[in-house]
Structure 1
Amino acid sequence: MIGGDDVYKVIVAMVPLYVALMLGYGSVKWWKVFTAEQCDAINRLVCYFTLPLFTVEFTAHVDPFQMNYPFIAADVISKVIIVVVLAFWAKCTSKGSYCWSITSFSLCTLTNSLVVGVPLIKAMYGPTAVDLVVQSSVFQAIIWLTILLFILEFRRSSAGLITPSSSSSNSGNRVVVDDQSKDLEESSNEISVEESSRPKFWTLMRAVWLKLAMNPNAYACIIGLVWAFVANRWHLEMPSIVEGSILIMSRAGTGTAMFSMGIFMALQEKLIACGTSLTVIGMVLKFIAGPAAMAIGCIAVGLHGDAALPQSITSFIFAKEYGLHADVLSTAVIFGMLVSLPVLIAYYAILEYVN
């Protein structure tokens, strides 16, 4: 059972994150240290330098030969369920939206496993369960965040290849698509694009792959995993000069991501940037829909239950960089970490009672 000391350990892990968040918020809202352009530069620093090196650092230290593959299979099944449901919603319902499906996938499936998950799971189930959390984080970085990055880059490239001149001949408007501030779907409602003006598939894919090749997030986890295989197969240690070079930036990954989120909050008119209704929907997706899908996945492979963790900070950084519902993701991160402790304790008590 979770005791006071265990709760304190979780609080110790979470408070520094909010210190970084408040420093970012205050630097813009109260002290006027950064301009809006400088804030964008800070987010790009986090997206292209600190987070990729953070990913390399924790991925390189896993043991791929000791992974719990039934647990990974359950995780895959749960995410496939979410993808199928969201795809059906976007395609077959009047209120369906592919852009909101991307955001909903992030809310349901991408978790802040390392920062909050490790101390919580260790308190609930012991050191053995911590290995599962780390494995889940590695698999999330390798597969799901990479897929998310591909989809976001595909969306941005699609908008970029639809030129205002080609669309204006069909609609009569001089409409400019700004993919950093508007959803692609909303933009497409304003312009009419015929088949002669839509970007060819292979032209679009070439643009996407070129962009991904220049984005270190696309291959950071692959580099880390390759080293993990080599190191564990032949019992090698990473040269200290290489490890030191990675650590000097990776240690700042989580802190700078929270700082960037605080800056983003300060630039919004309201503290809860996305509004009350979207906040409630986000929390339902995170703490009900996500765990329900994971429970189904666990049952399918013969494992016992799981709990919900707060929103992945990386998903917010990607949303901010690619201009897709960053307000919703930032709110999910903040409220997710605030309510994660009582929610997880409630899940733990329920699972203990059921078992």
Structure 2
Amino acid sequence: MIGWEDVYKVVVAVTPLYVALILGYGSVKWWKIFTREQCDAINKLVCYFTLPLFSFEFTAHIDPFHMNYMFIAADAISKVVIVVVLVFWAKCSSKGSYCWSITSFSLSTLTNSLVVGVPLIKAMYGQIGVDLVVQSSVVQAIIWLTFLLFVLEFRRSGTDYSTEKTVIGDSRIISVEPEKDMEGNNITSNALVVSSSTRPSFWRLMKIVWLKLAMNPNSYACIVGLIWAFLSNRWHFQMPSIVDGSVLILSRAGTGTAMFSMGLFMASQEKFVACGISLTAFGMVLRFIAGPAAMAIGAIAVGLHGDVLRVAIIQAAVPQSITSFIYAKEYGLHANVISTAVIFGMMVSLPVLIAYYAILEFLH
């Protein structure tokens, strides 16, 4: 049974995140240290350096030969259920959209298990719960965050490609009259100009997306880490200390710099609750109700039971992934909604998760 000491451990784990958040917020809102361009640069540092190294570091130290594959299958089924529902909503509802489907997927499936989930699940279910949470985090980093990156790149590449203006020599060319000054002299030259816009073919767009993903370290950091985990556990050797130290020097800053970047983003918004009350409530419903409900479907489908079933449902209600905010900010898609979900999610997660624990124990 979870006690006050266990609650204190969770508070100890979460508080440093808010310290980083407040420092980022204050450096723009109160102390005027960073400009908007510098804030964007910091977000790129997090997106392309600290988070990939953080993901590689914790992935490289798992044992892939002792993972609970039924638990992973349940997690996969739950996310497929969410994807199917969102696709149906985007196609069949007048309020549905591709962009909001991406954000809704993040809100309902991507969790911050390592920071909040590990200490709380350990207090509830011991080491077996911790092992399952770490496994779900690794799979999330390798598969689902890569999937999120893919759809974000697909969206941005399709938009960028289809809105390009091209100068070509055919009947669609129109002549633009030169602008004149007060005396009638030309001050601009004649110009010939034409998701007229063209929509790229599917395979052309796929090629663009995969090339961009190949240049994004987030898309393969966990894959490289998993390969190392297989090799090191198969032949029982350690990572060279020089490599380990080089990774750790930035990976240890991954979560902290991500929260700092979120503070910078919050300070640039007009309101503290950047997305408004209704969207905040929408995000909380997806995070704490839709996600666990989908996980319950997946867990029952594969036949999970006992503590493994309960851990699966509770870890699905862990607060929003910080990495999902970094991606939302980098790709310019509803970063205000994701940031609010991260902040409020961590504020309300403790009573919510304890309530889930009590309900599941009562049903047991």
Q: Is the deviation greater in 244-253 or in 297-306?
A: 297-306
Within 5 Å, give how 1:225-264 maps onto structure 2. Answer: 225-264=226-265
Q: CA deviation at 1:208?
A: 1.1
- Which residues in structure 2 correspond to 1:297-336 (within 5 Å)? 297-303=298-304, 304-305=309-310, 306-307=313-314, 308-336=317-345
Shift in Å, 1:122: 0.1
Letter in 2 for 1:330: S
Distance (whole Å) between structure 1 residues aligned to residue 225 and residue 326 of structure 2 = 20
Deviation for aligned residue 1:197: 1.9
Letter in 1 for 2:145: L
How many angstroms apart in 1 are the aligned matches of 2:205 and 2:135? Answer: 34
State the match for 1:123 in structure 2: 123
Aligned to 1:287: 288
Relative to structure 2, which stretch is displaced further, 295-304 or 233-242? Answer: 295-304
The alpha-carbon deviation at position 65 of structure 1 amounts to 0.3
Q: Deviations over 1:116-170 (max 9, x none)?
A: 000000001111110000000000001000010011011111111113536xx99
Structure 1: distance between partners of 2:276 and 2:124: 33
* Structure possessing the higher radius of gyration over alpha carbons: 2
- Alpha-carbon distance in 1 for matches of 2:293, 2:108: 10
CA–CA separation in structure 2 for the residues paired with 1:135 and 1:40: 32
Matched, 1:165 2:165: yes
Distance (Å, rounded) in 1 between the aligned partners of 2:50 and 2:165: 38
Amino acid at match of 2:347: L
The alignment of Structure 1 onto Structure 2 pairs a total of residues equal to 333
The 5 A counterparts of 1:190-201 are 197-201=198-202
* Structure 1 residue 349: Cα displacement: 0.3
Instruction: Output one character per residue of 1:150-201: Cα deviation in whole Å (capped at 9) or x when no partner.
Output: 11011111111113536xx99x9x9xxxxxxxxxxxxxxxxxx68x821122
Aligned to 2:180: none
What letter is aligned with 1:328? V
Alignment deviations for residues 193-217 of structure 1 (CA, whole Å, 9 cap, x no partner): 68x8211223222211111111000
| Matching residue of 1:56 | 56
- The corresponding residue for 2:3 is 3
Distance 1:147 1:298 in 2: 22
In the alignment, what sits opposite 1:79?
79
- 2:23 paired residue number: 23
Partner residue, 1:182: none
Instruction: Deviation per CA, 1:302-334: give whole Å up to 9, x if none.
Output: 112311100000000000000000000000000
Distance 1:201 1:128 in 2: 44
Letter paired with 2:229: A
Distance (Å, rounded) in 1 between the aligned partners of 2:127 and 2:241: 27
What RMSD in Å do the two structures reach over aligned CA positions?
A: 1.7
Q: How does 1:89-104 map to 2 (within 5 A)?
A: 89-104=89-104
Q: Find the residue that maps to 1:165 and give its secondary structure.
A: coil
- Give me the whole-angstrom Cα distance separating, in 2, the residues matched to 1:201 and 1:3: 54
CA distance in 2, matches of 1:58, 1:334: 24
Cα separation, 2, equivalents of 1:197 and 1:153:
18
TM-score normalized with structure 1 length? 0.91
C-alpha deviation, 1:294, in angstroms: 0.3
What residue is the counterpart of 1:178 in the other structure?
none
Residue deviations 1:2-31, cap 9 Å, x none?
A: 111000000000000000000000000000
Query: Equivalent residue for 2:183?
Result: none
**Partner of 1:211 in structure 2?**
212
User: Letter of the aligned partner of 1:54 in structure 2?
Assistant: F
Per the normalisation by structure 2, the TM-score is 0.89
Percent of pairs with identical residues: 78
Look up the match of 2:352. 343
Q: 2:275: which partner in 1?
A: 274
User: Which of structure 1's runs of 4+ aligned residues deviate more than 6 A?
Assistant: none
Structure 2 gap ranges (5+): 177-194
- Once residues 206 and 104 of structure 1 are traced to their aligned partners in structure 2, the CA distance between those partners, rounded to angstroms, is 26
Q: Deviations over 1:74-103 (max 9, x none)?
A: 000100100000000000111111100000
Question: What do the CA deviations read for 1:18-63 (whole angstroms, capped 9, x no partner)?
Answer: 0000000000000000000000000000000000000000000000
The AA in structure 2 aligned to 1:338 is: M
- Provide the rounded CA distance (Å) in 2 between the counterparts of 1:208 and 1:199: 12
